[in-house]
Amino acid sequence: MLKSIKVWYSRIIRSKTMWFSILLAVLGVIQASMDVFTPYVSAQSMGFLTLLIGILVAVLRVVTHNSLEDK
């Protein structure tokens, strides 16, 4: 079991998409718990940020060709 966890972890570390997902999750936790970004991002800008995140995910999908199993 430990070997399979190490293999899974080594695959995730090499994935740009997973790094981006982890970053989004961490930022979401920070925002939910401390409301840090509200003073800097207006409600109108939130829609633009959501659009930008969607575009970045699409770009990552195009740039990354291999599945996690292939890494």
Domains of the chain, residue spans? 2-70
User: How much is the pLDDT for 26?
Assistant: 94
pLDDT tens track, the chain, 71 positions: 777 888 888 888 888 888 999 999 999 999 889 988 888 888 888 889 989 999 999 998 888 877 766 65
Distance from chain centroid for Cα 11:
15
User: How much is the pLDDT for 30?
Assistant: 92
User: How much is the pLDDT for 8?
Assistant: 80
User: How much is the pLDDT for 33?
Assistant: 93
Q: What span, in angstroms and rounded, lies between the C-alpha atoms of 4 and 48?
A: 40
